[in-house]
Structure formats: C-alpha cells, structure tokens
Structure 1
Amino acid sequence: MPPPPEDIQLTPWDLRLLTLGYMQKGILLPKPPVSNGERLVDTLASSLSQALGWYYHFAGRLAVGAHGDGNITIPLRCTGEGAKLVHAAAPAVAVTIAGSLYTPSSVLSEFFPFNGVLNVDASMDPPLPVLSAQVTELADGVFVAMSMNHSVGNGTIFWELFNA
C-alpha cells in the first residue's frame, strides 16, 4: 500500500492568490532539426518528467478539507498525479507572426494550456493540475508555454522549473 500523500499547507499569502489566474509564460523557438524520428514533444515530456522529480510538489493537486466548525483548508496535496502536457499544432502560424507585437492576443492565448483558469479552479472536483505545459508546433518553429497555479509557487520557482 502506498504511503499517504504529503500535504503542504498554504499560507494566508498563498490563499490570497486563489482569486488570480495561473502564471503563464512561454518561449518562442526555431524548429529544431529532427533526429532519428524522435518527436520534439516526446523529448520535452521526458524533460518535464525529470524536472518534476526535483519539483515533485507541482505534480500534486489542491485539496479542500472541510472542518466541522465551518472552516476549510486548502492544502497542496503531493499525490504525484502529474502535470498536464498538451501537444498542439498551428501549421498556419509562423514564428514571425507569433512573435509580432501585432499578433492578436486571441491567437497567443491558444498557446497556453490554462488560459483564463483561476487558481481556485484547481481545488474544484475533479481538481486540476497545478502545473501544465503546452508544446505548439508552428510552421517554422515551436512555442513552449507553461502555466502554474500561483498559490503554490512564486515567479522565481516558476522560472527555475521552466529552465529545468
């Protein structure tokens, strides 16, 4: 029988962030050369899996604990259920279009997996992952995006994980 999941209690400062949206950042890259038929998304999935070995708590879920006195707690439950990885294709979009200041935000928003999702949405039933990544293959490049629930981590840890 596996051990019970570890709960990390959110602080009052963390709980204040539940009403905000997920942190979202992305990077636009040229299309890498294909070698031995290996798909880029498979390589990135393997990298994400390895990074989550170090940042294991981002593979968990928010949980809601109701107490008999009318209070609730929302801890980060380190279940190991995993982060979400989305593979998408936008063959009609070129790097020059995606990287342009004049690109409509509606186009770029499609490159982020949890666009418009609030941090509190991760605690609903069923709970959403607190971390999600999307790899969008473009006509001549790739856009790698990551969304993280801001109530479980700050910008510094977000970029550490992104870079890992």
Structure 2
Amino acid sequence: MQEEPPVTDGSRPTVPFVVEAEGSGVAQTVTAPGAHPHRFRADTLPAFGGADAEPSPLSYALGALTSCHQVTGSLVARDLGLTLGTWRLRAQGDLDPSVISTGAEGNANFVAVTVEVDLGTDATPEQFARLRSETERRCPVTQLFQRSGLAFTSRWNALPLGG
C-alpha cells in the first residue's frame, strides 16, 4: 500500500490545537485555552534537574499516544459498526538520556516505543485486524511517533466484551 503524501495545499480544513505554557526551572504549567480551559503541570526526573513532582514531558507524550489510540480507535470502531468495551493500554518509550543530559551526539528521541492494547470487543479476528491497522493509520500521535524514525511496535489483544 502506497502512502499518500500530506495535503498541504489548503484543500482540506484544519483544526488548530493550541497550548500556552509558563514556568521556571524545569517545572511548567500548560494551558489548553478555549471555552473550557484545561491545565496540567509538567516537571521531570531529578536526573534531568526536576523534582519529579509532576509527570515529565516524555510521560505526557506516551500518555498522548495511548489516549489518541483510544480516541481514534473509538471513531474507527464506529465506522466499522463494532462494539467496544474497556480499553487497557500501556506505552513504553526507551530513551538514551545521553543526548539530553550531557549533550552527546545523536538523536534525543526515544530509541523505541512499544504500545500494548487489550480491548474488549465483539469484532471478528478480521475486523479486529482492520480496527488496529486503521487506528494506527488514522491516529495523529501514532503517526508522529512512527514517522520520527524510532522502532515502533504495537501488540493488540482482543478480549471478550466485559472482559
């Protein structure tokens, strides 16, 4: 299957996502403005100069990945006429900290990311495979990770509804 090039000519509408942030040291408060502003705080591990008082930006990135899987997967399931139950997701990013902490040459990105999905569903094995592939294709955060060049692995397990 050949990948479509991104549309950049303005022929499709876009939805802007905005965050604003303020902080000192390595701690920060991030606000997603709008009719119902949402705020969250970020810090980092002591090895990177933080107090570990809040999740790190890398934890938020992995959380964005699991959350986007669930949002996108729910939309795909609706399109496929599938019923979904409970989602249980786990994401692990393996990071070589030498670039960020000591300035070593290399890529500051995760070396590898693994996502594990356990999902209650009424899908047949064929439908579940389609749900998985379409979710990963349509999920913006998955695409950010996959297109960054890191080793991306996902394991999806279908569970009985209510399981």
TM-score for the superposition, normalised by structure 1? 0.23
More relative contact order, 1 or 2 (CA 8 Å, 6+ apart)? 1
Over alpha carbons, which structure has the higher Rg? 2
TM-score for the superposition, normalised by structure 2? 0.23
